Chain A
Amino acid sequence: MSLAFAPTHPPQDRPAGPGSAASPDAAPAQVTEAFQFTGTGGEYFRIWIVNLLLSVLTLGVYSAWAKVRRMQYFYRNTRLAGSTFFYHGKPLAILKGRLLALALAVAFKLTVGLSWIAALAILVVPVLAMPWLLSRSYRFRLANSSYRGVRMRFAGTGAQAYQALGWGPPVLLIGSVFIGISAPSLGTRFVIVCTVGLMALAAALVPLIHFGLKNYQHNHSYFGQMPFFTYLRRRDFLNIYARALGLLLLGSATAGAFGYLTRPLARALSGGPFGWLVDLALGMLSASAFYLLVRPFLEARVQNLTWNGTELGTHTFISHASARKLCMLHATNLALITLTLGLYKPFATIRLLKYRIESVHLDMEGDFEDFLADHVGENPGATGQEAGELFGLEFSL
């Protein structure tokens, strides 16, 4: 079965030109195009397993090719107005970045036992370099993304990244390091006060850092020569995070109450033949208040906040991801992944991606024919993106 290649909207008649007298009241037609994701779990599962096996057999070298294949799968299955996206990243560039990140990780693990100062240095440097790494990573990603042959571009500089993220990351880093170092020597009570203080500080700073990040990302991105523009406000981010915090407290309280009320039952089950399985399930449930409730909530709301109203020329994005649906998605994914001992993961990834992509629309005024590709700018290396990923940072627009 193949999908016939048909435009999802009738071809437009282009206005004869600005100031044309032919039909003065014919405003450019407004069309809403939905993003579509055509990937399937079954297809992706096969790609995932074969590439994983090859990566393992080559001790990780093939993972760069696997990464390119994965990105290509996601890009080419993302469809807008009848055309798909394309990923141009080259495996060798990605491989270089991964080797560098691996060297850093190994150095960290080895020095941790030897000298905590050296280990600290290896931990601190990437965190302080993070804004720069982020800017390089976006540059690589966007420069290697295209739609209908027109490449995207990221023009943000490293300096602007540092400005955008502000004092937040260094402050939090220094705070954690200070507590970590002084914990053995000072009294437990003082350490607890400091930790709580640091967490409160983080609660206030993280939304601001997130704001800075999204603002930086969106307002320095280009499609061809057309800039993206999003008007974001700090207070919206603070708002969302405040609600997320409320959810977390609510979730933890509920989980705690649930745990307390069902304790006799839990103990009885634990003592039985499948006790270890019950312990496993209970352990996971009680730890999942954050993962099941707060993370999808943040994902959905931040996606809506940053994409709703993002403008590209005369076109506007609309995002309507539902936090509730996303929570359900994550919860069912988690359950299925656990039940299948991890085999469901590729299916889960596709489900999530499909939902998030298809909750975005584009309100178009006029059509894309006017965009011109922008060939200015060199091809940046992949080091930034890969180094960032190995340390667990997820960069997603």
Chain B
Amino acid sequence: MIEAVYFDGVSARRHPVTVIVHQRVMALRGAGLRRSINLAQLDISERLEHAPRVLRFPDGAFLETSDPGLDRMLAENRYREPRVVRWQRHWPLSLLALVALVGMLAMSYQWALPWAVERVVARLPAGLEARLGDHGLALLDEGMMDPSELPEEEQERIRELFAHLRQPRGEHTPYRLEFRSSAMGPNAMALPNGVIIMTDELVELAGDDTALMGVLAHELGHLQRRHTLRNVLQTMGMGVLVNVWAGDVSGMVTAVPALMLTQHYSRNFERESDQYAIDMLQQNELPLTPLATLFERMHEQRVSRSAGKDKEAPASDYASSHPSDAERIARLRAADRRR
């Protein structure tokens, strides 16, 4: 027998009643009030630590009780709490759920998402990337890039040189090589519409055709492996993962971790492209050391440029979208040694 309060679902009047459950039938009795119902027809709310239990009748009436005897009475009448509720009330199981969830999110980020994106990208139409690339090229030409000052013959010579190289594994990735002059300094980039841009400053700094071929091979790798699109999709997917965990927490809190996670993805893409450059140059029996030397020179240039400021290149890998210069140079030299 337990104490409860009965509400008839029509008025807000409280009716103190006593309740008994026997043979899976619940009967309640109060002042001028008597009701009974099959336990199975009651909607029994979850047990909460600090809130009264609510048992609802089909017609909207309900019982509210904090009497500790209710649990025993229900258990005696074969009432089983839903599994999820039992799970929630158990600290060890909940912590296990936490570990499982974090593990799943980490594995999704590290393996499942990149794998899924690779499969998806293979099935997407090429027009999507073309439009992204065209738009990007227009923006660059408007803002940071000026027409190249290299003589036309020089540009053609480099184009011919690269066109004669064999692409790895018999691939035939289409591309178009463009030259620009830019205040950015020595740089090269691949746009998803197939355009590879190389700055005059890079040609000047390299001073070596093999190094230029290495750079172009690296950029071709971005195109062949569709890195731009994969990066976009992976970032989106990663946003979902972060959102699962952080939910409605202020965007500011998640901004920096999210950025770090994105940069990790970018670094992996750069490594993939470096490997592609190694594959392609080795296929054409070219050494990689000139490219390594070019990277060294670019690194020195960056260091001397920021000597005026107090910080060197980013103190750690975490904030950069490329692997460290040291790592890339070491890999290139090691590849040469292996041959």
Contact = CB atoms under 8 A, between A and B. Distances in A.
A271 B311 contact: yes
A150 B11 CA distance: 7
Given A2-B68, A275-B315, A337-B249, A38 B50 contact: yes
Contacts of B284: none
A394 B68 CA distance: 37
Say what secondary structure dominates the interface of chain A.
helix
A150 to B, nearest CB: 5
A46 B252 CA distance: 25
A342 B245 contact: yes
Given A49-B101, A84-B64, A267 B311 contact: yes
A368 B94 contact: no
Given A47-B88, A184-B142, A113 B65 contact: no
Contacts of B334: none
Given A5-B5, A109-B236, A147-B12, A69 B318 contact: no
For chain B, give the interface size range: 35 or more
A283 B256 contact: yes
A149 B245 contact: no
Contacts of B128: 113-114
B283 interface: no
A4 to B, nearest CB: 6
A148 B13 CA distance: 8
Interface string B61-97: 1101111100000000000000010011111011001
A113 B131 contact: yes
B12 A224 contact: yes
A149 B48 contact: no
A55 B249 CA distance: 18
Contact of A114 (B90, B104, B131): B131
B11 A275 contact: no
Contacts of A283: 255-256
Contacts of A79: 51
B253 interface: yes
Interface string A33-51: 0000011100101110111
Contacts of B88: 46-47, 50-51
B8 A84 contact: no
B12 A369 contact: yes
B132 A342 contact: no
Interface stretch (A134-142, A154-162, A284-292): A284-292
Nearest to A394: B248
A206 interface: no
A254 interface: no
A345 B247 contact: yes
A5 B101 contact: no
B14 interface: yes
A122 to B, nearest CB: 16
Nearest to B139: A184
Interface residues of A, number: 62
Interface in B166-187: none
B11 A372 contact: yes
A149 B101 contact: no
Contacts of B91: 46
B320 to A, nearest CB: 11
A286 B314 CA distance: 20
Say what secondary structure dominates the interface of chain B.
mixed
Contacts of A150: 11-12
A368 B244 CA distance: 42
A39 B252 contact: no
A76 B316 contact: no
A150 B3 CA distance: 22
Contacts of A190: none
Interface in A345-393: 345, 368-369, 371-373
Contacts of A184: 142
A304 B312 CA distance: 51
Contacts of A275: 315-316
A148 B318 contact: no
A338 interface: yes
Given A49-B97, A50-B84, A50-B94, A334 B61 contact: no
B61 A38 contact: no
B318 A276 contact: yes
A271 B4 CA distance: 66
A46 B256 CA distance: 27
Given A5-B52, A114-B131, A291 B319 contact: no
A291 B48 contact: no
A139 B244 CA distance: 28
Contact of A53 (B52, B68, B97, B319): B97
Determine which residue in B65, B315, B318 has the highest number of CB atoms from chain A within 10 A of its CB, and name it. B315
Contacts of B13: 369
A369 B315 contact: no
B7 interface: yes
A373 B51 CA distance: 23
B94 A49 contact: yes
Contacts of A47: 88
Given A149-B60, A267-B310, A276 B316 contact: yes
B98 to A, nearest CB: 5
Contacts of B54: 76, 84, 86
Q: Can you list the 5 inter-chain pairs with the closest CB atoms, starting with the nearest? A: A38-B50, A149-B7, A275-B315, A46-B94, A5-B66
Given A50-B88, A342-B249, 12 more contacts: A5-B64, A46-B94, A47-B88, A50-B84, A72-B45, A148-B14, A149-B11, A284-B253, A291-B250, A334-B250, A337-B253, A343-B98
21 contacts: A43-B49, A46-B90, A51-B84, A53-B97, A69-B46, A77-B50, A83-B14, A84-B52, A113-B128, A113-B131, A147-B12, A149-B10, A224-B12, A270-B311, A271-B311, A271-B315, A275-B316, A279-B319, A291-B252, A343-B98, A372-B11
